[in-house]
């Protein structure tokens, strides 16, 4: 009986040590809010082309890109154009006009990066896109002022993104 108790204790100690080693072998994860944003100082900007309907509703790719670039730089970030960057802002606006003079737009903006990761169903690491932050919304109304409203909403989202990045880097 005495030998059995020692062996159960030994097995328990071994199990605890093995569990501790397994935890220690895993990389530690950042626990602070928005930890994934820490260290971001340079951002690329990619805005999708707008459709003819979006243009008729007062939207233009250049206006969106200019507003978002300004929001990023005003937020203290360096913006690169036409170059590969580790982190990039992606904006997309889809607009329809169900009736003459009415504009309906769905818009999204996200802060993205790419990394390699081992997926549970593959043997080797793969390049994956990571969405760090995403926001989106809808707007509808007359063609007059519609484009300005959508650009304003996108800019507000990017202002929130830059605020979160600044806080993460304090």
Structure confidence by residue, pLDDT tens digits, 29-58: 667 889 999 999 999 999 999 999 999 999
Distance, in Å, from the CA atom of 167 to the CA atom of 163, rounded to the nearest integer, reads 6
* Positions of E strands within 35-101: 42-47, 78-80, 87-96
Distance, in Å, from the CA atom of 41 to the CA atom of 30, rounded to the nearest integer, reads 19
pLDDT tens sequence across 129-167: 999 999 999 999 999 999 999 999 999 999 999 999 999
Q: 93: burial class by Cβ within 10 Å (0-12, 13-18, 19+)?
A: buried
Lowest average pLDDT, out of 8-12, 59-63, 115-119, 158-162, goes to 8-12
CATH of domain 35-168: 3.40.50
pLDDT tens sequence across 64-112: 999 999 999 999 999 997 777 889 999 999 999 999 889 999 999 999 9
State the CB neighbour count (10 A cutoff) for residue 131.
10
- Can you give the pTM of this predicted structure? 0.79
Delimit the domains of the chain by residue range: 35-168
Distance, in Å, from the CA atom of 65 to the CA atom of 48, rounded to the nearest integer, reads 9
């Amino acid at each position: 009986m005495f030998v059995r108790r020692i062996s159960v204790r030994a097995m328990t100690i071994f199990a605890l040590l093995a569990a501790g080693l397994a935890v220690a072998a895993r990389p530690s994860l950042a626990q602070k809010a928005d930890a994934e944003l820490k260290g971001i100082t340079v951002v690329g900007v990619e805005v999708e082309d707008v459709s003819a309907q979006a243009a008729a509703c007062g939207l233009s790719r250049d206006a969106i890109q200019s507003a978002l670039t300004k929001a990023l730089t005003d937020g203290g970030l360096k913006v690169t154009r036409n170059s590969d960057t580790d982190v990039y802002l992606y904006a997309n606006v889809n607009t329809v006009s169900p009736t003459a003079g009415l504009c309906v737009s769905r818009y999204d903006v996200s802060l993205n990066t790419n990394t390699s990761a081992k997926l549970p169903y593959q043997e080797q690491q793969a390049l994956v896109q990571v969405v760090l932050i995403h926001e989106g919304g809808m707007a509808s109304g007359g063609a007059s002022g519609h484009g300005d409203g959508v650009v304003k909403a996108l800019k507000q989202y990017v202002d929130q993104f830059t605020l979160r990045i600044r806080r993460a880097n304090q």
